[in-house]
Structure 1
Amino acid sequence: MDVIERYINELMEKSTPDRPVWNIEKILQGEKAGWNYIDGCMIKAILEMYSITKDSKYLEFADTFIDYRVKEDGSIEGYDVEELNIDNVNAGKTLFELYDLTGKEKYRKAIDLVYSQIEKMPRTKEGNFWHKNIYPNQVWLDGLYMCQPFYMEYEARFNDRKKCEDIYSQFANITKHMRDSETGLYYHAYDSSREMFWCDKVTGLSQNFWLRALGWYSMALLDTMDKDNHKEQAELHQMKEAFQSLIDAMLKYQDPSGMWYQVVNLGGMDKNYLETSGSAIFSYAILKGVRLGYLPESYAEYGKKAFEGICKTYLHMEEGNMSLGGICLVAGLGGKDRRDGTFQYYMSEPVVKDDAKGVGPFLLAYTEMKRCGWEYQS
């Protein structure tokens, strides 16, 4: 077993559904975990580990973790549909895989419950889901990853693709309203009402290009395309073009280390730092994009370089255990603390170790590296 698998096993051994060691936000708040996108990221990655290793411990851990929350009637402890928080859809992605692998009918019922939130989500005037009910008229790049791959998988599997046009149009709106034509990058968020203090009153856009949001969006494009079972769709070709052009734009900013900066296009600015979670996401997105045929084979070297750069920069032994550092804990806009989206704001958020927002994507990238026959070299 290599050192990365040992690291993941250590995290699993120390975690329970109520207190997973990778959910640093809940640990700092002194709260139980509940149903949240952070654990969803990690369990999805652990299921991917099962997919490539066929080691039953990964499936058993994931099943135990999600089973603990999902009741026999399909209700989910700690999940309230009426909260209308797009982040809460993300953990629902694990239910499809677990339903297929275990046959537990309660997972199928829980899938329907999560889908019922999608049917209730309020929308901007352009037709995109609000990020959360508490953030009216706002679209954040993060939210496309949290929801759209689940939405597409449900449509493809259970709803005869009836609402696929809605999914594709939401992505088209992102390209239209949030992409910067000069850099090819996407701004973190968009306020359709132009009312929020953090947005440009003409464009509705936030100020900066945040790495992890761009990463979530690249995964949203990639994973949504992967879930559509009608590959000849014209809209799918547009998404493929959007995905490749985003990767091309990001490669212009890839640091010699292989990683990317927290605020992507301002690498030389004081306090800006090479950030793990977004770099891991792009490693995964590039490698998986090559594997699925959405990117040329030659791009794989950039994904491998990113992964190896993370290992060299931030994967270290501490007190006898492996630890992954350089992870931005959280970043958003608005809210009670009036996050304004300035460069200084993105530098002010805590940088932590071993949080699932970094570890989950790192593990996903590792599974793609394994598919390439890569071995860890310390």
Structure 2
Amino acid sequence: MNFINHKVKIYTLTILGSGILLACTQTRQTAQPKAIIENSKSGKIVPLNLKWSERMLLSEMNRFPEAWMLDYNKAPKWSYPTAIVLEGAKNIYLKTGNKEYYNYISRFGDTMVKEDGNIISYDLSKYNIDMLNCGNVLLYLYQQEKKDKYLKALQTLRSQIDGQPRTSEGGFWHKKIYPSQMWLDGLYMGEPFYAHYTRDFSKGMDAEKAYNDIINQFDLIQKNLLDKRTGLLYHAWDESREQAWADKNTGLSPNFWSRAMGWYGMAIVDVLDYFPKNHPGRAKLISYLKSYCDAVIKVQDKQTGLWYQVLDKGGEKGNYLEATGSSMFVYTMIKSVNKGYLTKAYKKYAEKGYAGIIKNLITVDENGVVNLNRCCAVAGLGGNPYRDGSYEYYVNEEIRSNDPKGTGPFILASLEFEK
């Protein structure tokens, strides 16, 4: 396969180092984690005898000594990909008891949330559903540390849900600047936080209303974005049919983007962590999950076990086997099997995908640092410059290594396999 035409962004150690140095001058000086310093004396920053989950987390901590640097941020930024890696860090801390992993999470919260509860770079008035995902980090930190500033920040994030603009049927707009649009991405950005917050803080009728609202978001996705022929879901839907990318009859965007589908699967399997066992919507979510995984398996590459950037166009020019979506599909399936949502028959597809990631997309530097390659950096719809959702658009977006939208799901998938 020829990847020459892709805009591949190579991050050298020199560039990354200078970026980190610049970022660190804007906050307090950051020390490398103790484990990384000790290991580096032997020539290995990341020991080869650890499990893949911990190897990837240590590699991320080496690349990004402060968690706000994840996603190659040069200054503290409230950024949704950070939360995925930190979810992995939380689970590895619970597994190993290594306090350095907890401190990595804790420093992020302490840096990003001011004493008055205001969140650095967060603007409630934008009603951007992406901004809710990092709330999961604060829910964990508040549970552990009971800092009042985290509670205030959480209440602000929860208030965004109350004010979030909606479609005529109650579906959350992706952002205020994207009117009448539901994106698959938004289900992951909003619903696990919504469910997690509801479990921790809401009771009685308030909780029931919230859980029903969450189920409605998934119902609307299934109603409006599902392709009944393939079982795949389109990236987005415009109720108004006004966007240039939207089909004038259906309102749908034109393609099945791997990561959008990945977000949706992760949304379902993570929301179920916080959903009451006796809620009637729970069985519905599991049924959606099964039909979703059945559709994903049909477009899994037979040779490698991976998935293409545009899912149903594997043989077309420029398409490529992409790391973030592949990691998300593997995580969704193996977690679904472990939790009993899917039968063990699905495990072989998750295993094939995971083996494909390690064989084809993972490289290990001489110092032990692990890299996840061939990640789509970003893709969306609309905006300026305008993103039209065409096949050519998706396959020509920037590709890079170690995007947290891939490393995070890879850590989470690895943890599921290591159970």
**1:32-181 correspondence runs (5 A):** 32-160=75-203, 161=207, 162-181=209-228
Report the alpha carbon displacement of residue 72 of structure 1 after superposing the two structures with TM.
Answer: 2.5
Over the aligned positions, Cα root-mean-square deviation in angstroms equals 1.6
Aligned residue identity for 1:6:
R
Report the alpha carbon displacement of residue 164 of structure 1 after superposing the two structures with TM.
Answer: 1.5
Report the alpha carbon displacement of residue 166 of structure 1 after superposing the two structures with TM.
Answer: 1.1
Q: Which residue of 2 aligns with 1:349?
A: 397
Aligned residue identity for 2:253:
S
Report the alpha carbon displacement of residue 109 of structure 1 after superposing the two structures with TM.
Answer: 2.2
Q: 2: distance between equivalents of 1:11 and 1:163?
A: 35
Given the alignment of the two structures, is residue 246 of structure 1 paired with residue 292 of structure 2, yes or no? Answer: yes
Q: Aligned match of 1:335 in 383, 392, 417?
A: 383
Q: Which residue of 1 aligns with 2:58?
A: 9
Given the alignment of the two structures, is residue 286 of structure 1 paired with residue 325 of structure 2, yes or no? Answer: no
Given that residues 17 and 68 in structure 1 are in contact (C-alpha distance below 8 angstroms), is that contact kept between their aligned partners in structure 2? no
Q: TM-score, length-normalised on structure 1?
A: 0.92
Q: 2: distance between equivalents of 1:292 and 1:286?
A: 10
Given the alignment of the two structures, is residue 364 of structure 1 paired with residue 395 of structure 2, yes or no? Answer: no
Q: Which residue of 2 aligns with 1:261?
A: 308
Q: Aligned match of 1:235 in 281, 290, 307?
A: 281
Given that residues 68 and 108 in structure 2 are in contact (C-alpha distance below 8 angstroms), is that contact kept between their aligned partners in structure 1? no
3-state DSSP class of the match of 1:194?
Answer: coil
Given that residues 67 and 105 in structure 2 are in contact (C-alpha distance below 8 angstroms), is that contact kept between their aligned partners in structure 1? no
Given that residues 269 and 289 in structure 2 are in contact (C-alpha distance below 8 angstroms), is that contact kept between their aligned partners in structure 1? yes
Q: Aligned match of 1:183 in 224, 230, 233?
A: 230
Given that residues 37 and 88 in structure 1 are in contact (C-alpha distance below 8 angstroms), is that contact kept between their aligned partners in structure 2? yes
Greater displacement, 271-280 / 41-50: 41-50
Q: 1: distance between equivalents of 2:176 and 2:227?
A: 27
3-state DSSP class of the match of 1:316?
Answer: strand
Q: 1: distance between equivalents of 2:198 and 2:59?
A: 37
CA deviations 1:325-356 (Å, max 9, x no partner) are 01000010011011111111101101100111
Greater displacement, 275-284 / 296-305: 296-305
3-state DSSP class of the match of 1:139?
Answer: strand
**1:201-216 correspondence runs (5 A):** 201-216=248-263
Q: 2: distance between equivalents of 1:347 and 1:360?
A: 22
Change in CA separation of 1:351 and 1:156 when aligned onto 2, cut-off 3 Å: same
Q: 2: distance between equivalents of 1:138 and 1:33?
A: 29
Q: 2: distance between equivalents of 1:19 and 1:34?
A: 6
Greater displacement, 72-81 / 356-365: 72-81
Give the gaps of 5 or more residues in structure 2. 1-48
Q: TM-score, length-normalised on structure 2?
A: 0.84
Size of the alignment, in residue pairs? 364
CA deviations 1:263-296 (Å, max 9, x no partner) are 1111111111111111111111111111111111
Give 1 or 2 for the bigger CA radius of gyration: 2
Q: 2: distance between equivalents of 1:270 and 1:170?
A: 35
Given that residues 17 and 33 in structure 1 are in contact (C-alpha distance below 8 angstroms), is that contact kept between their aligned partners in structure 2? no
Given that residues 56 and 411 in structure 2 are in contact (C-alpha distance below 8 angstroms), is that contact kept between their aligned partners in structure 1? no
Q: 2: distance between equivalents of 1:16 and 1:313?
A: 27
Q: 1: distance between equivalents of 2:292 and 2:95?
A: 28
Q: 2: distance between equivalents of 1:214 and 1:282?
A: 8
Change in CA separation of 1:216 and 1:19 when aligned onto 2, cut-off 3 Å: closer
Report the alpha carbon displacement of residue 40 of structure 1 after superposing the two structures with TM.
Answer: 1.9
Aligned residue identity for 1:245:
S
3-state DSSP class of the match of 2:337?
Answer: helix
Report the alpha carbon displacement of residue 49 of structure 1 after superposing the two structures with TM.
Answer: 1.9
